[in-house]
Structure 1
Amino acid sequence: MSRGNLVDPRDDTTRQPDPGRRYIPMPENSGLLAFRPMYPGIYDIPSTPELLFEEEALQEGRTWGEDLTLYTGASYLAGATAGAVAGLRRAAVEAERGESLKLRFSRVLNNCGSAGRAYGNRLGVIAMLFSATKSGVRECRSGSRADDWINTAAAGIATGALYRMPGGPRSAIVGGIFGGILAGAGFVAGRPLLKKFAPNLGI
């Protein structure tokens, strides 16, 4: 309703239809009014990944920081879980007849916590060494950013040797051989599974 030069905002008769929208009737008994833009292509969500820098589009695989975060976090979690299981088993062995429930529960917490921290820290250090050596091997091979079995096996050999080096040369050699075999086997067996179940990891 109009009063002189003033327009009542509640008066629907004075409003002009929006040219960018049109009414789409919905099925009966839906109770909804649907509006679609006349140019639907403007609001289409792109399916391609959006990258901030051009270097990210040319990158193959993960960076050293991404490897460090992924390997260290996953290894620490796996080690803490295994340590908690080992601590629970140790607490069950050390339990004595006639102990109170509070004492048994305290022993379980102490054993699980100490073993979980020890296992998690150990695997976390190994993962940090692996990510660092893998990045170094990858850069030495003409700066190739692709993760293949050669980089993984070489990083496993270097990681095992570095981790066991305080025990002497023989221990370092054995650790390098074991680390190379373990890393190569993990690459061959784990890569298809990660591509199937976690393709967004960029492996």
Structure 2
Amino acid sequence: MTGKPWMTRMVNATVKHGSGFAQPAGAVVFMYSALEIAMRQIRADDELNGLAAGALTGAIYRSPHGVKASGIGAGAGLALAVVWMLANEDSRRRFSEVLNFA
């Protein structure tokens, strides 16, 4: 399928199934943001807060499915936070500064 029928099919699928992705994604983003803000209140404002918030978000989000799933979620959250940090030039610079002081 190409052209207009393909585009119509993609638009219909997005509208029909988009909310199934949007709700969990919104919950994860909210948890990550809230945990990162809480971490800033507890300790210094640096990039380690974002990494910890990513790991905690993954662990909390998957916690109803058991300890193993929570650990996998923490690893996935940490991995996504690392990718996000490495993709942002300012975050890379601040993280290298944190490592130089350690």
Compute the TM-score of the two structures, normalised by the length of structure 2.
0.71
Gaps of 5+ in 2: 92-102
Q: CA deviation at 1:153?
A: 0.5
Larger Rg: 1
* Deviation of 1:135 (Å): 1.0
| Rounded Cα–Cα distance in structure 1 between residues aligned with 2:79 and 2:10 | 35
Tell me the amino acid that sits aligned with residue 137 of structure 1. Answer: M
Partner of 2:27: 125
Contact preservation (8 Å) 1:161, 1:175: yes
Aligned to 1:173: 71
Counterpart residue number, 1:20: none
More helix per residue: 2
Aligned match of 1:152: 50
Q: Please give the alpha-carbon distance, in whole angstroms, between the structure 2 residues aligned to 1:184 and 1:172.
A: 18
Q: Which has the higher contact order (CA 8 A, sep 6+)?
A: 2
Gaps of 5+ in 1: 1-91, 93-100, 194-203
How far residue 108 of structure 1 moved from its aligned partner, in angstroms, is: 5.0
Which runs of structure 1 show a deviation greater than 6 angstroms over 4 or more consecutive aligned residues?
none
From 111, 116, 121, the counterpart of 2:13: 111
Distance 1:191 1:167, change over 3 A: farther
Question: How far does residue 116 in structure 1 lie from its aligned partner after superposition?
Answer: 1.6
CA distance in 2 between counterparts of 1:122 and 1:185 reads 20
**Partner residue of 1:188 out of 80, 86, 96:** 86
Which residue in 2 is equivalent to 1:161? 59
1:155 Cα deviation after fit: 0.2
Structure showing the higher strand proportion among its residues = 1
Residue of structure 2 equivalent to 1:139: 41
Q: CA deviation at 1:191?
A: 4.0
- CA 126–192 in structure 1, closer or farther in 2 if over 3 Å, else same: same
Structure 2 Cα separation of the partners of residues 115 and 190 of structure 1: 30
Q: What value does the CA root-mean-square deviation take over the aligned residues?
A: 2.3
The code of the aligned residue for 1:127 comes to V
How many residues end up aligned between the 2 structures? 87
8 Å contact kept, 1:160–1:178: yes
State, as a whole percentage, how many aligned pairs show the same letter. Answer: 29
The CA deviation at 1:183 is 0.3
